[in-house]
Amino acid sequence: MDIVFIPGLNNTGDVFRDVSAALPAHLRSHCPDLPPLEHIEALADAVLAAAPARFYLAGYSFGGYVALGVLEKARERVRGLCLMGSSARADSDAQKLKRQQAIQSLDAATYVDTASSSVAPFHPDNRQRPDLVARRRELASAYGAQRYLAHVRATLQRQDRSHLLDGSVPMLWLAGSHDAVVPVQQQAEEAAQARHCRYVEIPGAGHLLPLEQPQAVADALSRWIVRTP
């Protein structure tokens, strides 16, 4: 069985390296990098072009927006959908303003420092872990300012896709217990409103759950896939 992982902002597919390593051998993981495209629909097309014929789909943060775009385009190819640290809703006016400001203030020369300097997205217990801080900087460096700019524009323009949480495919929703980027309460509410959706809160994780708790993420995915027809 195949599972396609889609990374978030400031992350390449390598953000799932430890999650993939912790999966059982019968699950083949695909962790593509997203190209610097400015529309969710175009990014979804890129994912579909490289994906297996049928697959489980896991989108992290911004990757969840792309995963929902994939589901809208090719529901028949998706065996099950996992959203982690994400949302199916469109941006609020306040969020749109914040993203516009991020676009306007972007300085390619200082992008890596800006993208990796704040430890706030981590769980409080993980903020002083040098391995996680270093991994985050490596990911931002590989991701780059051009891709960040394109993906923020794609985020800003994305549609509300809450209607896709209709139970047509089985769902798993993973939330870090201390996610301060996409509030845990919001994620729990969206998961509760979705049909045929299992909600799992990952202890000891903030927003960066694939980095912070890869074993727990892999275990939750494995248990869910076993139960999914």
The predicted pLDDT at position 227 comes to: 83
What average pLDDT does the segment 167-179 reach? 96
H or E element that contains 201: strand 197-202
Q: How much is the average pLDDT of 204-223?
A: 97
Q: Mean per-residue pLDDT for 131-155?
A: 96
Report pLDDT for 226: 85
Q: Which residues pair with 80 in a beta bridge?
A: 56
Report pLDDT for 174: 98
The CATH homologous superfamily for domain 2-227 is Alpha/Beta hydrolase fold, catalytic domain (3.40.50.1820)
Whole-number Å distance between alpha carbons of 63 and 114 = 20
Domain ranges of the chain: 2-227
Q: CA–CA separation, 156 vs 208, rounded Å?
A: 21
pLDDT at 228 over 90: no
pLDDT at 29: 97
Are 34 and 151 a contacting pair, CB within 8 Å?
yes
Is 160's pLDDT higher than 90?
A: yes
The residue-averaged pLDDT of 25-35 equals 95
Give the C-alpha separation, 171 to 197, whole Å: 4
pLDDT band at 194 (very low <50, low <70, confident <90, very high): very high
Whether residue 117 has pLDDT greater than 90: no
Do residues 217 and 190 lie in contact, with contact meaning Cβ atoms separated by under 8 Å?
no
Q: What average pLDDT does the segment 58-64 reach?
A: 98
Compute the radius of gyration of the chain from its Cα atoms.
Answer: 16
Compute the mean pLDDT over every residue in the chain, rounded to the nearest whole number.
95
pLDDT of residue 229: 67
Residue 95 in contact with residue 69, Cβ under 8 Å? no
**160 bridge partner residues:** none
Among residues of the chain, what percentage have pLDDT more than 90? 88
Tens digits of residue pLDDT in 64-81: 999 999 999 999 999 999
Mean pLDDT of 33-59: 97
